[in-house]
Amino acid sequence: MSAAQGSALREHAATVVVSGLSTLFAVALILTTGVMGAALNPDLVEGSDTFRMTLLMVSAIFIIIALYVGAIVTANTFATIIAGRTRTIALYRLIGSTSKRIRSRVAVEGLVMGAIGAVIGFVVAEALIAGVVFFGPGWGWLPEGPNYPLFDPLTILAVAVVVLTTWAAAWAGSRRVGSVSPIAATGASVELRPEESRGRRARTVWAWILIVIGAALLAGGIALSVLSPMALMVSFFGGLFSFTGIAVGAHFIMPPVLKLTGKLIDRGPTGSLAAANAVRFPERSARSTIGLVIGVTLVIMFAVALDSYRSMTLIAFDNDPAMAAMLTETLSITTAIFTGLVGFSAIIAAVGLVNTLSLSVLQRTRELGLLRALGFTGAQVRRMVIAESAQMTVAALGFGILLGVFYGWVAAQSLIGSEIGFAAPSVPWLVIAGVVLFGVALALVAAAAPARRAVRVSPVTALSVA
């Protein structure tokens, strides 16, 4: 395998993994609804088709969430790849290639990688469901006798949607191709600096518009919550607009959060460099962290919403202990299931963080070589990369937890506030602790491979890179 092929595989590894995970999640959920429908006893449960349709609708919500997070991760991955290919793209522009043609080639790469990942995810999902169907009756998981389906036409649709989403995300992620000028052929990896990032006025204006509209709707939903459960619809659109605004405006929202986090690790030369690197290129930092922010926010939001709903409902059923006990048991199971389903999106987001950090190390070969030439030891370079990973992970976790607690409380308050008035949010600390442990593990995993690669950089070889 040539060096170019190896580099291409490293660049697109996250795209294949994300599309594979998204397909695995979607196909497994669709097939699971079929298996659960077949396991129902028609003599005991009427309308099993209605039951399956309900499960499919619930599954569709979580599939869309996973696709949404996967699309953001894929778009950010391709944006990072484009930044690393600036010189190559500039050479193509120099010899007459158009930006549209280059973007089309990049989109085709996304289509191919998305198809490869989708096929792998489909095969793995089919194998998992086949294993459950084969061993389930013997292990007591499923009743014996029913003919459990191992294929559903909807799974083909799911595969097609994942592939097309990856293709569209690759096209969106390559939008910077049009801004690459032929003169950039004299440089290497090019990221937008803070002043250039802040200068993207159209994107910044749209982000603020969405945030302001969302905040107004959220405030209206909270105010209406004491009057009617329909306030939930107002709050839903408020959350949708404001959260989208945060995602769009990540280039000016995340750098201050990262800068604040950087003060925690700014110890010595390695810590200072790590803190500076995280905010030196806002676009790269935003791409690295916003996917994880979204994943963590979703997990915490569902957990807080359900736990707050439980505590608020217990207040309403204070005079009925039997109903309160049954409600607590039901919501505990529901919370565990929903947290697990949404947690899959957080895993997809984590892949994006790991990949972006790896690509940034690959694209900073010359910079790392210069540090080694100036006297930095391999251990110091390793600590710098680990500190960068820790800084980005802590920033994403902290911001995501705050957003999740707020959105979760607003959802619960809007739904049941008309029965009990205003109530404080109920925070599931066990879920918070699990997310924090996940973040610690992620920081270590995200930094492992890039740190090894950074240490192996030879000063002489690195400084010879144009």
| Residue 217 banded pLDDT, cuts 50, 70, 90 | very high
Q: What is the pLDDT of residues 59-81, one digit of tens each?
A: 777 777 777 777 777 777 777 77
- Among candidates 442, 238, 247, which has minimal Cα distance to 346? 442
**Distance (Å, rounded) from C-alpha 200 to C-alpha 219?**
29
Residue 116: closest CA among 28, 9, 5 = 9
The reported pLDDT for the residue numbered 193 is 53
Mean pLDDT (the chain) is 77
pLDDT tens-place string over residues 240-264? 899 889 988 888 888 888 888 877 7
Share of the chain above pLDDT 90, in %: 10
**Mean pLDDT of all residues in 177-199:** 53
Q: Work out the pLDDT band at 211, boundaries 50, 70, 90.
A: very high
Q: What percentage of the chain exceeds 70 in pLDDT?
A: 74
On the question of pLDDT at 184 being above 60, the answer is: no
Among the ranges given (18-27, 127-136, 198-207), the one the predictor scored with the smallest mean pLDDT: 198-207
Confidence of residue 189 (pLDDT cuts 50, 70, 90): very low
Measured CA to CA in angstroms, residue 156 lies from 74, 107, 413 at distances of 21, 22, 39
Name the pLDDT band for 212 (thresholds 50, 70, 90): very high
CA–CA separation, 29 and 271 (whole Å): 44
| CA–CA separation, 158 and 67 (whole Å) | 10
Better pLDDT: 211 or 455: 211
Q: CB atoms < 10 A from the CB of 334, how many?
A: 14
Of 4, 186, 175, give the one whose Cα is nearest residue 82.
175
| Mean pLDDT confidence for 324-343 | 69
Position 6 scores a pLDDT of 47
Choose the most confident range, by mean pLDDT, from 152-156, 210-214, 312-316.
210-214
Residue 302: predicted pLDDT: 83
Of 298, 270, 273, 250, residue with least CA distance to 395: 250
Which amino acid, 379?
Answer: A
Per-residue three-class SS string for 285-315: HHHHHHHHHHHHHHHHHHHHHHHHHHHHHHH
Place of tokens 């014996």: 144
Supply the DSSP string of 391-427, one letter for each residue.
HHHHHHHHHHHHHHHHHHHHHHHHHHHHHH-------
Q: Which of 420, 409, 411 is nearest to 227 (CA)?
A: 420
This prediction's pTM? 0.74
**pLDDT for res 1:** 43
What local confidence, expressed as pLDDT, does residue 407 receive? 92
Instruction: Look at residue 219 and tell me whether its pLDDT is greater than 90.
Output: yes
356-378: b (≥16 Cβ within 10 Å) or e: bbbbbbbbbbbbbbebbeeebee
For the segment 130-139, the average pLDDT, to the nearest whole number, is 84
Provide the 10 A C-beta neighbour count for residue 192. Answer: 18
Confidence of residue 5 (pLDDT cuts 50, 70, 90): very low
**Strands (DSSP E) along 298-367, which ranges?**
none
Render 151-198 in DSSP notation, one character per residue.
Answer: --HHHHHHHHHHHHHHHHHHHHHTGGGGG--GGGGGSS-----HHHHH
How confident is the model over 376-414, as pLDDT tens digits? 777 777 788 778 778 888 888 899 999 999 998 998 888
